[in-house]
Structure 1
């Protein structure tokens, strides 16, 4: 039976949730192999986690299975820091039970060692451009960029994908047939971890190899000129591995620089407590008087890299390492309200529920005759009017400083019962 998770919500406050997201796109878990792709082990390597995010959002799996962890080290991603608790990629052979990363490391180890996982890709952005001979400080044998990294030539025991050097060489060759610039070419870097690299013995890929799991690191260069360059090469490499494993897919875009650049700008939307909605495109840097609960707010992002960080009296919203906005709350107790929402938008009647939006060209009206319900169109004022239901509102009637977006075309419409917040919808003027 065909099954693919595509349009997903990513909740960061769910009870018993993992400290990272895992997206599973599966067609036949019993008879076909699973590719596990991991991004964001280092928070200052955005090519890795934005590539994994695009993979989760815009690829449909038609045959085979794909698991994606786009945000393994979420706190470090928010801070654009390699590792706020130290290098997570040096904690896989042994980790202190008191280490702040212990839950993340142990949970991803469980996933790596699951029986159906047949191959692991760990995505990175590395410095420079790897060359076997030293040319300068950017092009040299100590650089990591533009490499397919392996810990050893072959696995110690038989495995369908156990010839790591052969596979990495084949993928590098395919990547080199479609380079943006000639000096971007890929090569295989074998760290020969067991004998030559003490630090790599503590890495995620070596942990996988020692558990008879083929594992590769894809390193794009930090010296590439843009994020979409890095994401392009990561996705191209992942597609090579999917092809090798017989995983068939469809993507909803052409794999080129322009398309990727546009997709990276799409931040989608956020719902809070199932009664608040924000479109995250062109959101203002700061929004005030957001009606939140004093605790246990549930933020659900449509983007897999969406996350929130509470900072004293405010909430910072992130997409990956990009801070999108800051919410300054006004606290309200949780209310279970059942309010039918009827709007007249450009003369046409619509029915809505909380945490949704609608579009108008000319004007709108919230139709409501319940005396216990009060409507507050944020940015609209009329002398002597406390309930703003049943009033026709156009864009010129709204104070632009109360818009949520930089274009001043999106506004909150809030609903209250007995002065207690129930929920909101968002109106966008075209």
Structure 2
């Protein structure tokens, strides 16, 4: 409620209650190709979530669809994006259940609803940035069920009757594919089923994805964490998109390597240009701010001014002083102090000497010169080179055509850029603006267009699709990031030296199982893969009956009959199971899963293996950290006297204790895994 109130205050005080609603744009990539489904991809319904709209913008600029089709709305809510608020007129993603016709977003919502209902669209995916990191159980203030960052979200397990209605299978696979390429264990993705209808979640019932389900159209969401920088959020969003494309059989190409460093370069403004009303070109790399006396069309609202670019998140916005801000997403690139004028499109090109070579130059374009420029005079038109003053000229309407102008003759403070290398020559027909030639004395940019390459999709090892393909000997022929296209010989093996794609259950062979029961009184997590760092796909209570299919080290691959008779498979630590129900119910000891393996590489001699020993904290508070480093994230605070197990000592001199213990508090039972400085503990 407070956020909504502040949004309206922002709109009224800064934007003078002007209706700034902007229509969103829809682009159709490889439209009409029915060899694979049509995906609707949408970002930016919340204006303060840049990872989402930079991801869709980058997708538009650097991907090609070669089989199937993708319809893209780069930013659903552009007016809120430019204002950098969640919703300029309230949360747009809570307006799909009911909405008054006088709501400023009403027409936008109706248009989105119509788009979602389009019979050509088979499934939709929506991108968001959420706070913290979603976890199924409380870990700390940053990692808990109330956070939304780094998870893939569905409203329910399936949408019955829909061709692509198995929502849970899509996100389970998506999470597995993303986690194959995470940059840090903290970034691990999870499946987040909101159970919107069954839990009667009043907020989620108003959201876009649930509305889509009500139309019989599958919809799912990917969230990236706001704790991450923009390029890393975009990286995880693109991993999610590529996973879904691969699952759907939509083939694609991209022209860059999928990693945050590449993304950072691509979302910068270094090689971007803006074309305004077809008569002005502005390079966006290092614009000066403000730019004075900038020609803009008289009588046209900024939101209706035509601006074209390879980027789809550019716009012109009026500020409270009446000046015009050039926006790239929420970022202001420059403030234009306008010189309002009628615009005239009667002139197509001009002749000019560039370093003494005569050329015909299209009006509204940008040229590169080394030393000098000179415009050929044109009847009825005059040329005003901004930053140049003709000696002894006192005319109110200067005309600098026919004059050879050197870079040294131009005053730096009138340049368009902060390096004083780019200037402008304005063309007028009397007092009517007829166009601009942008002049750069910098070196022309090098060609920055890498070739597009087809990316072959290979599901993450041990993921549902990988196992299914292994069982049926089907090789997928769709798309994914660089690591996924490695050959079988180069693919990593697990700790049992087995290929990740080795089938666990041979096709057509009977399922051999042993019945076991869950022992811990607090229940047990079922994970997608045999690792405590992998996704939790279910939680079983004490005494739950499971069928053990196979032993994988200290893990048991189990199956449990769901209500519809289909096996739900996953992994449980073997010592959490008992072969009799009686011994399971009589279990009194606290049983936990093996502590997580951290993926950060360490020298071979940095870990001193030791049998588990007991210890307790000897100081008032001991910080439990995610990794053995004073700069690592604090995941818990262990008080004086807290007892725990030490599993090993790590660090150069074994100064860190790798620990785990069970904590029971008001929030329930929590498993604590991490590292504590050894000198803060006493052995027991």
TM-score by length of 2: 0.58
Distance in 2 (CA, whole Å) between partners of 1:240 and 1:190 is: 18
**Residue matched to 1:427:** 439
**Residue matched to 1:384:** 392
Deviates more, 1:260-269 or 1:76-85: 260-269
Distance in 2 (CA, whole Å) between partners of 1:162 and 1:299 is: 40
After superposition, what is the alpha-carbon deviation per residue over 1:334-369, rounded to whole angstroms, capped at 9, x for unaligned?
Answer: 33433640121123222112111100112221122x
Distance in 2 (CA, whole Å) between partners of 1:278 and 1:270 is: 5
Aligned pairs for 1:23-422 within 5 A = 23-155=27-159, 157-196=160-199, 197-224=201-228, 226-266=229-269, 268-296=272-300, 298-302=305-309, 303-311=311-319, 313-338=322-347, 340-368=349-377, 370-385=378-393, 386-422=398-434
After superposition, what is the alpha-carbon deviation per residue over 1:269-314, rounded to whole angstroms, capped at 9, x for unaligned?
Answer: 2222222221222111211111222212633130200111123532
Distance in 2 (CA, whole Å) between partners of 1:24 and 1:281 is: 28
**Residue matched to 2:489:** none
Distance in 2 (CA, whole Å) between partners of 1:135 and 1:262 is: 35
Contact 1:43–1:73, Cα closer than 8 Å, also in 2: yes
Return the offset for 1:30: 4.5
Name the CA shift for 1:340/1:214 in 2 (closer, same or farther; >3 Å).
closer
Q: Which runs of 5+ in 2 are unaligned?
A: 1-20, 443-684
Return the offset for 1:29: 4.2
2:198 alignment partner, SS class: helix
Contact 2:355–2:370, Cα closer than 8 Å, also in 1: yes
Contact 1:148–1:168, Cα closer than 8 Å, also in 2: yes
Matched, 1:19 2:23: yes
Distance in 2 (CA, whole Å) between partners of 1:298 and 1:84 is: 20
Name the CA shift for 1:340/1:176 in 2 (closer, same or farther; >3 Å).
closer
Q: Which runs of 5+ in 1 are unaligned?
A: 1-16
Contact 1:28–1:63, Cα closer than 8 Å, also in 2: no
Distance in 1 (CA, whole Å) between partners of 2:36 and 2:406 is: 56
Distance in 2 (CA, whole Å) between partners of 1:204 and 1:91 is: 8
Give the number of aligned pairs: 411
Contact 1:29–1:116, Cα closer than 8 Å, also in 2: no
Contact 1:129–1:144, Cα closer than 8 Å, also in 2: yes
Distance in 1 (CA, whole Å) between partners of 2:163 and 2:438 is: 52
Contact 1:27–1:62, Cα closer than 8 Å, also in 2: no
Name the CA shift for 1:419/1:223 in 2 (closer, same or farther; >3 Å).
closer
Distance in 1 (CA, whole Å) between partners of 2:434 and 2:45 is: 39
Distance in 1 (CA, whole Å) between partners of 2:156 and 2:215 is: 13
TM-score by length of 1: 0.92
Distance in 2 (CA, whole Å) between partners of 1:270 and 1:152 is: 43
Distance in 1 (CA, whole Å) between partners of 2:324 and 2:207 is: 33
Distance in 2 (CA, whole Å) between partners of 1:115 and 1:59 is: 24
- If asked which structure has higher relative contact order (CA below 8 Å, sep 6+), I would say 1
Distance in 1 (CA, whole Å) between partners of 2:79 and 2:255 is: 30
1:194 alignment partner, SS class: coil
**Residue matched to 2:553:** none
Distance in 2 (CA, whole Å) between partners of 1:18 and 1:404 is: 28
Return the offset for 1:330: 1.4
Contact 2:385–2:426, Cα closer than 8 Å, also in 1: yes
Contact 2:349–2:363, Cα closer than 8 Å, also in 1: no
After superposition, what is the alpha-carbon deviation per residue over 1:116-169, rounded to whole angstroms, capped at 9, x for unaligned?
Answer: 1111111001111111221100011221111110000000x2223211111100
Return the offset for 1:268: 1.9
After superposition, what is the alpha-carbon deviation per residue over 1:76-129, rounded to whole angstroms, capped at 9, x for unaligned?
Answer: 111111112111111111111111111111111111110111111110011111
